Amino acid sequence: MEHQFINNTNVGGAKKRFELHIDDQIAILEYFTVKGNVAYLTHTEVPPSLQGKGYASILVNEALDELNDEGTKIVPMCPYVLAFIKRHKEYGNMVLPEFEYMLH
C-alpha cells in the first residue's frame, strides 16, 4: 500500500499532528510545540486494520526526520515514540536535555 506523509498544523488550537495516509485511512502522531523549537510528541494512533504492519514505525520515523531537519528538540511523551527512540539511538540527540533520563 502506498502512503502519504503530512504535517497537519491546522488541527486546532495548540494541537498539531503528523499524518500517514494509507488508502482511505489515517495513522496519526499528535504533538504540540513550545517556543517554536520544542515538540512534545503526545500520542500515536494507527487504525486497527493497519496495526502490526509497520505503519506506526514509518510515521514516527518520518516525523522525527522532519523535526530533526528543522532543528527541533523533542519530548517523547508517547510510549511508542519513546520505545522507538530507544531502539533507534540516532534520534536520542533530539531529546531535550532535561528529558534525556527517559532514554535510560
Report pLDDT digits (tens) over 23-68.
999 999 999 998 879 999 999 999 999 999 999 999 999 999 999 9
Amino acid at 46: V
- CATH, residue 9: 3.40.630.30
For residue 35, how far is the Cα from the chain centroid? 18
Quote the number of domains for the chain: 1
Q: Which domain holds residue 76?
A: 3-103
Q: Smallest Cα–Cα separation from 62: which of 48, 81, 75, 79?
A: 81
Model pTM greater than 0.75?
yes
